[in-house]
Structure 1
Amino acid sequence: MNAGLNDVIHAPNRLRICAFLSSVSTAEFSVVRDMLGVADSVTSKHLKVLEEAGYISLHKPTGKGRVKTWATLTPAGARAYQAHVAALRELIASPEADRLRPS
């Protein structure tokens, strides 16, 4: 991977999760799943990878009815996501990227 790019965040679904969570305070599991358009198991796997990296926190408030899982981007996750986006922008703007673009 190129310098500055984050291997954990770079996977397309995890990048989309971070982008989505950076725009909201918290999101329920089914909203994240529907935004991705993937199965529960795929969503769960990506959320777990991000949680293990410390980039998101998952919580299940107890109360009446069905327990739902909520995801929140952590401060470390927000910093990692912003750094990854900056690295992508730098990569896109690089002279090497200009040479690779079709004429």
Structure 2
Amino acid sequence: MTEQEEKPGRDPIFETGPRLALCALLQGAEWVDFATARDMLGATDSAISRHSRALEDAGYLEVRKGSVGRRPRTWFRLTKTGQTAIRSHLDWLTRLRETLDT
């Protein structure tokens, strides 16, 4: 039995840095710009860059780059896979909390 089968819904990618918070922020949005994500999470630019790359590499995050006027901008949104993964992980955390409360 694999670790994922032993702990359904748990996804270790969300247990490092602000990845869980970033995905939670994106869960209810169409697109969120880099600066808004950074400010809402209280994280540094390098932390957002590093963790968004890990989520993108996992197929959980879509990144769009462009510009507003002459200023470069980056936007994020969850992919369908990312939406399913965060929902499943949050459900697992809820079940874990319920187990601990009993």
Question: TM-score normalized by structure 2?
Answer: 0.86
**RMSD, aligned α-carbons:** 1.8
Worse-matched range after superposition: 10-19 or 70-79 = 10-19
Q: Please tell me whether residue 55 in structure 1 is matched to residue 52 in structure 2.
A: no
Using the TM superposition, give the Cα deviation of residue 84 of structure 1 relative to its aligned residue in structure 2, in angstroms: 0.2
Q: Any idea what the Cα deviations from partners look like across 1:51-84, whole Å, max 9, x if unmatched?
A: 0000001111257411200001100000000000
Q: Which runs of 5+ in 1 are unaligned?
A: none
Structure 1 counterpart of 2:89, one-letter code: H
CA contact (8 A) 2:17 2:51 kept: no
In 2, Cα distance between the equivalents of 1:98 and 1:70?
39
Q: Any idea what the Cα deviations from partners look like across 1:28-71, whole Å, max 9, x if unmatched?
A: 00100111112100110110110000000111125741120000
2:44 aligns with 39
User: 1:29 is matched with which residue: 34, 54, 68?
Assistant: 34
**1:1-103 superposed matches below 5 A:** 3=7, 4-61=9-66, 64-94=69-99, 97-98=100-101
Structure 2 counterpart of 1:37, one-letter code: G
Once superposed, which parts of structure 1, at least 4 consecutive aligned residues long, lie more than 2 Å away?
Answer: 61-64
CA contact (8 A) 2:55 2:61 kept: yes
In 1, Cα distance between the equivalents of 2:72 and 2:63?
12
Identity rate, percent: 34
Judged with a 3 Å threshold, the aligned counterparts in structure 2 of structure 1 residues 30 and 83 are, in CA distance, closer, same or farther, namely same
Question: TM-score normalized by structure 1?
Answer: 0.85
